[in-house]
Amino acid sequence: MKTTRSMVLVSSDPESLDRGALDVFSTLQKQITKFGLEEEIALSMITDISKHAMSPLVLVYPDAVIYGPVTTDDVPTIVEEHLYKGRVVQEKQISAYDLSGRVAWLSSRKGTMPAENRIVLKNVGQIDPENIDEYIINDGYEGLGTVLKEMTPGETIQVIKDSGLRGRGGAGFPTGLKWQFVSGAKGNKKFVICNADESEPGTFKDRLVLEGDPHAIIEAMSIGAYAVGADEGYVYIRGEYGLAISRMKKAIQQAREYNLLGENIFGTDFSFDIHIHTGAGAYICGEETALIESIEGNRGEPRPRPPYPTTAGLWQKPTLVNNVETLANIPAIIRNGAAWYKSIGTQSSPGTKVYTVLGNVNVTGLIEVPMGITLREVISIYAKGMKGSATFKLAQTGGSSGSIIPASLQDTPMDFDSYDKAGVSLGSGALLICNEDVCVVDLAKVLLNFFRFESCGKCNPCRIGNKRAYETLVNISEGVGTLQDLKDLKMMSDQLYELSNCGLGQTAGSPLKDILAHFRAEVEAHVKLKVCPAGICPMSGQRVYKIF
């Protein structure tokens, strides 16, 4: 790749494309040619970085100037003033603050985020995801070349084990161990699946990786396939992720053209290819066994375990299922070694974690920070504090299947083990930060409504339990709850965990457990005093769900 003076990026998320990002891009091309700058300025489309109202965005590096929303009419001015004459067009410029968007990569460039350490999002927003050369020039496919040429599958697994990488899908299972299980499973046919059915509400970290750095996933899956002895892979992408799907398709096509997928990769005996399978809008299909059922063409219902997918997965063959974020770590670990990876994060949870920060904070968006950072740091440093100087009340982690973290736990290091010890979970990486105006009963109601709707319906505790728990919460929020209801909620939460078949059911009751453990007084106020302290619940005194 030739050296350029400046880099211009145009956002290409669905909203930007809707608002004419492609026209902006082609006008930019014309204008740059017009001023004869095509040798000096690199122009590419990049993935989602914008807030809806501000898109489409045009970014100019290395100045880190953001323009938005840009129309084709603005382009000549920007090119002439900024690119040709070197003067920032101030009336179109917006700041990272205005941009309640993806603060991570923006801020990192400005050096305001000291703890940022980018592994997963290294290339996201910096390279043209539709150009395999840009990925390759940024050390892409080097890891794959290394393992194929210089390492045995066993050594590859050992590196991943030594790195201490743990699954980022929510459960935190040691990745190397999983690879070892699949590698050791009997069978002449094995599969690798990338779980990109990112359906936790408020989580979009995987989408950014898929849209911004699809080749990293291809490379990681290939490394995994080589390590476990698979020759076929699936990327199960959420159906709503149109851009991610098309980027991934394009990337697979390019990789095939470069023989980075297909037969005899890097001239070795290793052959591997990847299919794309799109989801149809079911939350449960993010659960790995339901995902496998879905690929097989069945109704998306989790399977009983054991047998685990590592021994009998897709079409009853040993199958490696890894989350997008987990996979995105793999090429870097192979390139830089296990020791390097272990030096980041905490002892038990090395590496970084990508969080989607949402809620009543000043800056929302995606951040990639080392494991072990605290909630207080996230809120005060990355999210720039609570909105309107409000008080932090609680954080909801993990989309829906995480925990409700009270303010008292905001200094607990955010890693798998510390959170486990505190009785809460990290979830999939969403952080919904709430202030005092949020009612915990209402929050639990929203969460249970989600689970009630998304339960697959296979096993009784989850299918019926979530519905009954939701109805009980509605009654409490209408001011007709009883103390027996609180006992029932606790019981339902315990039994859901104890009896459910999969992670959805097992974690569905945790909001109930959490609000009763940390905010019992507030819940009891709804029941005993018929008052919602936050003033959110309707408290109509009318029973919505009546007894026969």
Partner 1 sequence: MIKLTIDGNEIEVQEGTTVLEAAEAAGLYVPTLCHHPQLTPYGGCRLCMVEVEGARTLQPSCTLPATNGMVVKTNTQKVLDARKFVLTLIFSERNHFCMYCQVSDGDCELQNRAYDEGMTHWDLQPNWQPFEVDASHPFMVLDNNRCILCRRCVRACGELVGNYTLGFEERGADSMLVADYNVPLGESSCISCGTCVQICPTGAIIDRQSAYQGKETEVEHNIGVCVECSVGCQRDVLTRDNRLIRIEGVWEAPLNNGLLCDKGRFLPLEDDRPRLLTPLVRKDGNLKAATWDDAINAIAEGLGKGEGLAAIASTRLPIEDLALFKSVFADSLKAELVTTLEEGKATASLAKMAEKLGQSFESNLETLKDTDAVLSLALDLVDEHQVAGFFVKRQLTDGTNLIVADGKGNKLAEKASFKLDLEAGKEGSFLLKLHEAIESETGDEGFVKAAKLLKAAVKPVIVYGQDFAANADDKAVETLVGISESLNASLVGVKGNANSMAASQLGLESPIKTNGYKSAFIMLGDENPSQKLIKQLEDFPFVVALSAYGSQLTGNADVVLPVTMWAEQSGTYLNMDGRLQKAVQSLEAPEGVLTSRETLLKISEALEVETDADWKTRILSRTPTVQIKES
Can you give the binding site for partner 1, defined by CB under 8 A?
282, 284, 299, 304, 306-307, 452-461, 463-468, 471, 488, 491, 495, 497-501, 506, 545-548
| Alpha helices, H only, 258-348 | 288-295, 324-336, 338-342
Q: In what order do the strands lie in the sheet with 191-196?
A: 273-278, 232-237, 191-196, 319-323
Using the minimum distance from each CB to partner 1, give the nearer residue, 217 or 486: 486
| Pairing between β-strand 232-237 and β-strand 273-278 as defined by DSSP bridges | parallel
CB of 492 to partner 1, least distance (A): 8
CA 129 to CA 47: how far, in whole Å?
A: 8
- Give the position of tokens 């909620």: 489
Vertex 138, ends 132 and 142: CA angle to 5°? 85
Task: Count CA within 13 A, CB hemisphere, residue 123.
Answer: 27
Using the minimum distance from each CB to partner 1, give the nearer residue, 153 or 307: 307
Write out the E strands in 412-499. Answer: 430-435
Using the minimum distance from each CB to partner 1, give the nearer residue, 97 or 545: 545
CB of 67 to partner 1, least distance (A): 44
CB of 468 to partner 1, least distance (A): 5
- Give the position of tokens 């459960």: 171
Using the minimum distance from each CB to partner 1, give the nearer residue, 431 or 447: 447
Q: Which two tokens stand for residue 524?
A: 């009891």
Do 164 and 251 form a contact (C-beta atoms < 8 A)?
no
Using the minimum distance from each CB to partner 1, give the nearer residue, 2 or 546: 546
* CA-based radius of gyration for the chain: 24
CA 390 to CA 378: how far, in whole Å?
A: 16
Vertex 123, ends 335 and 413: CA angle to 5°? 80
Give Cβ neighbours of residue 411 (< 8 Å, ≥ 6 apart).
374, 375, 376
Using the minimum distance from each CB to partner 1, give the nearer residue, 307 or 337: 307
CB of 199 to partner 1, least distance (A): 13
CB of 511 to partner 1, least distance (A): 17
CB of 279 to partner 1, least distance (A): 13
Q: Which two tokens stand for residue 331?
A: 């090429």
CB of 362 to partner 1, least distance (A): 37
Task: Count CA within 13 A, CB hemisphere, residue 264.
Answer: 1
Closest CA to 266 of 295, 304, 226: 226
SS3 54: helix
SS3 233: strand
CB of 29 to partner 1, least distance (A): 47
CB of 439 to partner 1, least distance (A): 23
CA 489 to CA 494: how far, in whole Å?
A: 9
CB of 420 to partner 1, least distance (A): 12
CB of 547 to partner 1, least distance (A): 5
Using the minimum distance from each CB to partner 1, give the nearer residue, 256 or 463: 463
Backbone angle region of 290, left / alpha / beta, with phi > 0 → left and psi within -120 to 50 → alpha? alpha
> Which H/E stretch holds residue 235?
strand 232-237
Using the minimum distance from each CB to partner 1, give the nearer residue, 275 or 299: 299
Using the minimum distance from each CB to partner 1, give the nearer residue, 36 or 306: 306
Using the minimum distance from each CB to partner 1, give the nearer residue, 351 or 503: 503
SS3 369: strand
Using the minimum distance from each CB to partner 1, give the nearer residue, 263 or 498: 498
